[in-house]
Structure 1
């Protein structure tokens, strides 16, 4: 089933009340199984509904049908993302003096709009944990010590590699499991084949992923939190 048809079906279910206001859609893995597509194919189908406000992605909850009478979910989305990024700053996943992944990469990771990502970063900038350089990006600073901008914003493939590395570390891609296909990663991150290939090459050099003989898929070797 094509993503366009899935989008139409889900939009129809929202319109006829099958998925009522204020309710959360079935888990993405359940919808993917229902429509006979991959998880990443389903996300491609859901994205137009998020872009137009028919659905909201809420971190830790899933895809919500907004209720105009309820508090705006965008604020909750941003708050949840702020919380996650704050945790990554505290544990050193995003170290002082390094660039954060770009807004587009973070939006793809969390399944939200770039505007929501920008809203989530605003409190961290106000607290002196992040700083932004116009046209370059956002980097991590120490609120108690001056910190010069790091040299050169990370290229797209490096930023994508950071996101995939975090997924390996957190167990989203367990050891010995296949990563999404190149096509699925290209769709998620809005990147070309060569960019995804370069991102995965970085992880191969670190021994975090590998390509198996007679297979076009890339597999997780160990999680990024495992000792070498």
Structure 2
């Protein structure tokens, strides 16, 4: 089947509601199998649909059929968030030389998607109130000195560690559960891989998480409700599926 024929079929499905507004098209590999073509041919077929706005490519989600009403609603939400953040900059809640909370954190606070948060931040960056340092994140700048160096990355991973620590305490990451991957945390919290790694290193030292070195999988220790104020350094591997309890190694304060 030719790319042009596939383009026409998919466009027809969007028009008749088979692929409704606001829905994601089937994965490209499934469409390629359906039409009996290679992935490369399918991408050729999709490109005219993207160019004309019939579908939008959304990173991490696939090809989305746009919903004009949802787009307008997201734009309104972005303007509201821009206003709120501008007020926080004015009243000193977000001070010059500090990192802004990650896009994922702000998205959870305002109950919107990270893309809506990014849209809200875009205008503030254009006003020279914020600046981005990829992949570390977004920080507050002085419009009179927009070229000032970014804040120390140390303060950023400490702030991210605080977010993850609170999730461990409130049960978002229950004891013994596996945390999201480094990449997933970096994407959600809007920071770089190194910032996540440094944040988790802090939590490992506190005995709140453990990591399997080979797989790089991080787990909430089963004693997550017992916080490190006791002065113990605890590392624990999650119990294997067979039910046998894992060993706990403790460094006693007494040095025993």
Q: Give the TM-score taking structure 1 as reference length.
A: 0.42
Q: Which has the higher contact order (CA 8 A, sep 6+)?
A: 1
Using structure 2 for the length normalisation, give the TM-score.
Answer: 0.38
Q: For the pair shown, which has the larger CA radius of gyration, 1 or 2?
A: 2
